[in-house]
Amino acid sequence: MQPDPLDPNFAEATSLHPAVVPVLVCVPPNTPTAEAIALMSEAQTSYVLITQQQRPIGIFTERDLVRLIASSQFAPSQPISTVMSASVKTLCTADIQDTLRIFQQMQQHQLRHLPVVNESQQLVGIVTKESLRQTLTFSTLLKLKQVEEVMQTEVICASADTMVRQIAKKMNEHRVSCVVILDAGDRPVGIITEHDIVQFQTLGLALDQTPAQTVMSTPLLPIHPKDSLWKTHQQMNQRRVRRFVVCRPDGELAGLITQSSLLQALNPAEVQQMIELLQQEAEQLRTEHQALLEARNRELRARQAVLTEKLKTEQAEHQKADDQIRFQAGLLDVVAQAVIATDQAGYILYWNRYAQTLYGWSAEAVMGRSILEIMPDLKAQAKAAALINRLRQQEVWSGELLVQRQDGSQFPAWVVLSPTCNEQGQVCGIVGIADDISDRKRLEAERSAADTALKLAYRKLDQSHEALESRVATRTAALRQAEHRWRSLLEEVQLVVIGLDLTGKVTYANPFFLELVGYTAEAVIHADWVSCFISPSERAQVSDYFQQLNLQREIPSQHQNTILTKSGKERIIVWKNTLLRDLQNNVIGSMSIGEDITERFAIDRIKGEFVAMVSHELRTPLTAIHGGVKLLSQGIVPSQSDQGQALFQVVVQSSQRLVRLVDDILTLERLESGEYPLHKQFINSQTVTRQVTDALRVMAREANMVIEVCDPGIPILADSDRITQVLTNLLDNAIKFSPPGSTIHLTVESREGQGDPHVLFAVCDQGKGIPAEQQPTIFERFVQADQTGNREKGGTGLGLTICRNIVEQHGGKIWVESRLGEGSCFFVTLPIEPSKTS
């Protein structure tokens, strides 16, 4: 049942206080309880007032119903008077003051309903916590406060499967108006209130069989501890509920906020604090306002001061402008140019002092007259008139005009004319500035003449310059050609070319040199010649030579020295040196051209040594023959004496040696020059070995030696005589240098396994051996391992050289393997030609 605004009770009630609302459910004492509850449910109220003659005699609330249900004492047909609270506390209309006082009275008596009666104790309305809460207008205060500040934290809870009657029992037991339903994880999922119990009862629910989860109010409206009371208040209004479960953001139960909680927030101390706060705010605002006002005043005063100052400045500027005008007028008078101003028709308005001097007319004489009047003739007047017209079109003109003085004489003037405009930009006059340019004209004429002469001179200069350039070009081309010729000569010549500066640094090195020494040009250029390229033993000498050369002393232009290559090898160079000079004939360095004579030098040395050797080898037997023959023939030594006989023997042996030597030299010479062609034919190796052993067997026997031959008889392609000569020589040596009683082995075998197939001859003795360091050289001319004994044994020193020559001509090899004290083996290989081996 909604309050009807037209109900006289309601009008009376609300006029007392907004919280006093009409009583919606009133029943007489004999009304059955079930009926009373149905009315309560229908009117959505939390109470039923029991009245008699409009006087309240009892009250039955939701809580009372819960109590009955909890104790299972509910009897529907029982009169309400038997279960109601009989001692009803009322509020007299005369005692009604403010909302807070009413709330305090309700709290004091722990009441939720306060019936209001007039002086005659007749019921006029009721105050409930809901009606009280709805009057709350302290929105600021509610906005400032948070739910967590006033919420109840002691909350009665039950699990979702609890039966409704059990819930009612809990409510009754703890005297609370609601129970919060929790899920299995102890999170609040719903709520059951006293009001709900009333509804269930009305609907006839089986309270013992109905679990909470089927009837609870769910889901819960999310009210958080940090929400404002104002929001809560508004939500209560909107949803028409009396409490909210407060949950933390994570869904945990935080507490319960009820209408009482909201009303408690309005206790007087709080309000007083709020008022003080507001007073402080008001005071602060007043102060701020005062400050603003003062600031504004200050600003206005400052602005006034600025304006005053500006005014003063403007006045000063006006004064200054006036002064400036006066000053400029004065200037125009002292300027050394005629300044004339006219109106737009050409009538003179201003005529400065210099104009008087230039034209001869005073200002007074011309002021107001037309400018055309001072033109010398009609032609000039026509031109001036045309100019005035042009200037009216706002053009500026400058040029030369012929002008007449007062005395009739004329002069050329340089005139600049410009229009003057009024404030609207319209032409209102003309200002002309004129200058006598007689002198300038004369100077110009003179300069023009000079220019012409100068141009002529320039032209002549240009011509000769061109001729010179052409000559230079021709000469440069010739020089380039010569330079190119020289450079290609230097680059290609098979001679060393080196340029040095005066400090001995390399300034040029040709490719032949670079190739010879193995350095790059970058490494050579700027390197110090003597320290980098000259053999240490010759450095001082070469350094001295170049010093002398650079000082232009008398020294031979040719010299020879040894240079070092990158790999450390020495090259012998014979140099021809020339000084380099600059255009002033100063010496700036030297250019050396050198020939690499290393090979030639080596050949010369070998030749020299050979000649010396041959000379020695020839002279020795000659000396013996010559001496022996002379001593005998002159009878100095009697021929029959022992010494005489000895001399005879010396002569004979020396003669034989001489013959052998000459033979060997000739043989070698012929072999080397190719005059001895080989007559190769297929022979059996045994043919050769037999020939050799036959020839030497006697000699061996005399020396008490044995020659053992092992020759399977291998076919070879060779010059039989020559190979016989080689083997004879080797066997002869073996006999000569072996001790008596020893055996000499001559073996022949075929080698086909390794490398090219060949026949290997070996001559092995049991002599004293050849030192390792001599083994590589014993095949050279006149080199003998055992030189001391060789002469006596009749060797010429050419035998092994001849052997090597013959073997190499056959395409074979010869070498020695030897150990000191054990003997030597000489090996000779001859190739078996593949086509013949098969």
The residue ranges that bind other proteins (CB under 8 A) are 612, 615-616, 619-624, 626-628, 630-631, 634, 636-637, 643, 646-647, 650, 653-654, 784, 787-788, 791-792
Least separation in angstroms between residue 671's CB and other proteins is 26
Least separation in angstroms between residue 572's CB and other proteins is 19
Residues 6+ apart with CB under 8 A from 822: 766, 769
Least separation in angstroms between residue 708's CB and other proteins is 32
Least separation in angstroms between residue 733's CB and other proteins is 17
Between 20 and 637, whose beta carbon lies closer to other proteins? 637
Residues 6+ apart with CB under 8 A from 27: 35, 36, 39, 48, 49, 50, 51, 80
Phi and psi at 541, nearest 5°, equal: -65, -45
Between 679 and 793, whose beta carbon lies closer to other proteins? 793
The residue ranges of DSSP E strands in 669-742, in sequence order, are 681-684, 706-710, 715-718
Least separation in angstroms between residue 782's CB and other proteins is 10
Least separation in angstroms between residue 770's CB and other proteins is 14
Least separation in angstroms between residue 537's CB and other proteins is 20
Angle of helix 194-203 versus helix 33-43 axis, rounded to 10: 120
- CA–CA separation, 530 vs 505, rounded Å? 9
Between 305 and 622, whose beta carbon lies closer to other proteins? 622
Least separation in angstroms between residue 715's CB and other proteins is 42
> Nearest Cα to 335, choosing from 322, 350, 346, 320?
350
Least separation in angstroms between residue 575's CB and other proteins is 24
Q: Compute CA 741 distance to the chain's CA centroid, rounded to the nearest angstrom.
A: 91
In the DSSP assignment, the letter for residue 793 is T
Between 163 and 650, whose beta carbon lies closer to other proteins? 650
Between 784 and 805, whose beta carbon lies closer to other proteins? 784
Contact 793, 778 (CB under 8 A): no
Least separation in angstroms between residue 632's CB and other proteins is 9
Half-sphere exposure of 484 (CA within 13 A, CB side): 6
> Nearest Cα to 418, choosing from 407, 404, 406, 428?
428
- Which helix (H) or strand (E) is 397 found in, with range? strand 397-404
- CA–CA separation, 3 vs 10, rounded Å? 7
Torsional class of 565: left (φ above 0), alpha (ψ -120 to 50), beta (otherwise):
beta
Least separation in angstroms between residue 616's CB and other proteins is 4
Contact 48, 36 (CB under 8 A): yes
What's the start-to-end Cα distance of the chain, in Å? Answer: 143
Least separation in angstroms between residue 578's CB and other proteins is 31
Least separation in angstroms between residue 603's CB and other proteins is 18
Between 134 and 790, whose beta carbon lies closer to other proteins? 790
Between 53 and 634, whose beta carbon lies closer to other proteins? 634
**Strand pairing class (743-751; 706-710):** parallel
- CA–CA separation, 188 vs 125, rounded Å? 37
Side chain identity at residue 274, one-letter code: M
> Nearest Cα to 48, choosing from 123, 110, 98?
123
Beta partners for 412?
Answer: 402
Between 169 and 736, whose beta carbon lies closer to other proteins? 736
Least separation in angstroms between residue 676's CB and other proteins is 29
Between 28 and 627, whose beta carbon lies closer to other proteins? 627
Between 581 and 630, whose beta carbon lies closer to other proteins? 630
Between 749 and 786, whose beta carbon lies closer to other proteins? 786
> Nearest Cα to 83, choosing from 101, 102, 98, 69?
69
Between 397 and 782, whose beta carbon lies closer to other proteins? 782
Least separation in angstroms between residue 648's CB and other proteins is 11
Between 370 and 643, whose beta carbon lies closer to other proteins? 643
Contact 25, 47 (CB under 8 A): yes
Residues 6+ apart with CB under 8 A from 339: 332, 350, 352, 354, 355, 431, 432, 433
Between 78 and 775, whose beta carbon lies closer to other proteins? 775
> Which residue do the tokens 């279960």 mark?
83
Residues 6+ apart with CB under 8 A from 648: 628, 632, 639
In the DSSP assignment, the letter for residue 833 is P
Positive/negative CA dihedral, 346, 352, 353, 355: negative
Between 537 and 788, whose beta carbon lies closer to other proteins? 788
